[in-house]
A and B are shown apart, each in its own frame.
Chain A
Amino acid sequence: MKLQARQGLGILLLLAGLGLAACGGDSSQGSQAAENGIQAGSSNYPVATITILTHSRPGGGSDVFLRELSRYLAPELGANIIVKNVTGGSGASALAELARAEPDGATFYATTPTFIYTSLLARPAYTYEEVDPLVNLFIDPELIYTAADSQFETLDDVLEKARNSRGLWGAANPASLERQSLEQLKLATGINNAAVISHEGGGDLMINVLNGTLDIGVGEAQELQSQLEAGNLRVLATFSDQRLAEFPEVPTVYELGHQVIVRKFRGLAAPQGLSPELIQRWEAAIQTVLEHPEYKASYLADNLRPNFIAHAEYQEFINAFASETRDYLRTVGIVE
């Protein structure tokens, strides 16, 4: 029917991919790490292959993001990039693997708030303090949304209901940034009569917003995209520091007078002791890649917002984020 030749090509590629996995298998780089192989041109990068670790499963948020990124980053750095999924221990396994790796520019880790949470909630062998935050790439906006047929037109309507009767607010997971953002909103607005109900992931949450069980939910733009386009959901506010290009009419929580800003970051971390030359090299490469027109079109379509933070400031950013999170977890009594 359609595109049959290309489908035939597809299967060849698939078989070739399996073959590649076979070759990589015994040299400790299995096929869980896909070969995004764009071979280096003229390169003087110290290693031929860079491995970026993620605690995300194949197909998960960070995984999809990294594989897309590495397609553009590899030629820029002049080395192959492999994405390796080190699941388990809620990020602790990946963190441990990074902390134990040599700082030779061959191993990196994709940071998300998860690695801070795990460091604070449990006592993993290595915490965020034993690795070096390298650069930040994106900050995903967290949106407050409600069902399109609900009575709430603005965030104030929601807060009003919570003041007058009882608010039912939903977060995707019990110990997550989304949960934290809603709890902080409660603190900032002085509302006590709102139950923040956590779910088993964003999908579970969205169903309960769609069927009217909950007043509002908090989620990333990417998760909401299809329901927003179908007109089943309405965005009331964003937790970002400024209004979003895709939703220019949606106010930030901050400008509505509640001092809560949430930064769900996506960046990279390295083992401690990476040489200044390599750090500079990565800073330059990431900046170039973020401007790459094709990549830009791709990540903007995925609702990722570029927010480059250089190495010098990223350390502070992560530490500030961690201490804010630690304060929050202590205030609400989750950790001592």
Chain B
Amino acid sequence: MNAAQVPWAAWLLFLAPVSAILIGMFVVRPLKPEWTHLPILASCAVVTVCALLLLQRVLMGGSFDLNFYRWAGVGSWGVDFGLRIDGPGVAVLSMVAVVGSLIHLYAASYMEGDPGFSRFMLVFHLFFLAMIGLLTANNYVQLYLFWELVGAASYLLIGFWYHKESARKAALKAFLTNRVGDFGFLLAILLIIDSFKITHFHLLYFLVARATAAGHAPQFLPAIGLLLIWAACAKSAQFPLYFWLPDAMEGPTPTSALMHAATMVTAGVFLLVRSWPLIAAVPGLPDLVAGIGAFTAVSSAIVAGTRKDLKRILAYSTVSHLGLMMLALGLGRVSVAIFHLIVHGFFKAALFLCAGNVGHAIHQPTANVDEVGGWRKALPWTYVFFVAASLSLAGIFPFGGFFSKDAIVDAAMERGGLFALSGLLISAGSAFYIFRMLFLTFHGERPEQKGLSAHPHESGSGLLAPVGLLALGAVVIGAARPVVETLVAGGWTALPVGIPGYAQTMNLPGSTEIPGVALKALLIGMGMAALGAAAAYALTMVDAGWDWRWRKSSPALERVFDSDFGWKTLVDWFARGVSSLADFVGRVLDKKWWDGAIEGSGRVVQAAGSLFSDAARGRLNEALWWMAAGAALLLALGAAR
């Protein structure tokens, strides 16, 4: 296949956002900044159509992987730009396109009137473009490029309201933590180049499969796998690098919805999916992934149940669900992980936008549990959408979440041991925190809350329609299960490669099936969810003031949860230590010692010079003496010879 045969949909996928951004930045923004959303929304529509067209194409077997342009090369290796349209990529791409477009629509109404409206829309769309690039990259270096771009957009959007110090700090924290992960990613890429000499996915899959089949896996493969996992932990907010995500809620709600729920944070999981043949080839790494995922999922689910800020509850929920995706991947269920990624995108985006509407009702960026209460009559539509999305999250049949989440729990149960336990805990825990949030916000009259005295009012249709569509998606997405299964099954190949024995050596790591409705999953999953929901009901409705009481009676316990079981304190201490080390290096080592040494060397030379200047006074006798001494020396040398 050559460049001429690439479907125009693939070109448009990039051309539309790029032209929208350029037009928006150079034409619309100077003239009429409040119209910046128009070219951008148009581009969103085009991208969605193209994504769905490509989806259809891949389903019919038309996936491809093509190099277009070598930007810089050294010998046989180079930085290539290419396109890889294959199953997993196009599945996630469709979700990103649909969810992203709806959130763009929401943002156009939500950010209306904000002085930075134009800037927001442009950076938001830049992020969208970067995400598309990340999903269609055909080699690690290109993926890294877009990975970084996504991180940069995240920084710009978290710190959007830059006059707020908390926003600035949160943006920096997110960026720097991601940087730590990106360092690992870079090392992994360098090791890949060293071991395999190329970074293209399809060639790498082949080489790894062949090497492990022959029994001599490359020496650095475990290191590569670990570093890629490290990078994914930073981007997808897993333990130990997850702590930036709750603070990232400082950004406007559309940002939180798109980046930190549906798309950017899933880039880490996507990286692992792309790298799965490499990681699965190392014994023990999949278990590590599963372990990290399970641990993160359980601990952040517990913390989510104790948060008071609505968006932060959802942030911890995102961390927990990303952990679930990692767990699925680690247990070998690649399709299930991708399916959950897609489903999660829908219901989490819907939940975030509902939280945005709740805040909007009282003219705030976000809302605290103290400021709301019993609003289901005041915000009827938001309430309905919230309930739908919550049921999906809790994994209740027949909502979408059931098919993905309970499949993961099922896999964990099959595996047994700690994984089974964590699966059960997550089922119960996620139901608990989401229903707690529901009940505290929309039900009950509690004296500790402001309740209806805050005079909330429902948002306009511009803010409701996208949420509704997302909630609808969260409900029905379960039907897409067989589609995703088909897509992922063809995922590691997706190209006409003239390497003999290519298909045969492709040993797909893990299974690509997504189980359908099974009685066992139904009972266990829904059972635990019901347990969680009941607990939430008991602790928020029956005992209405419980949530405030335990905080007052044991403030130490609250501190434990506030610091994420002490992890945040540890990270803080570590960061302070590193920054004081940097201060020491910069101030003492660099300025005092090094600069001092360099200047001191000049002083040494000066001193030596003044020492010898005595000899150059011009005294005749001295000169003669030196002559005589020199002659004596030469004589001695001559005699010695």
Say whether A and B bind each other: no
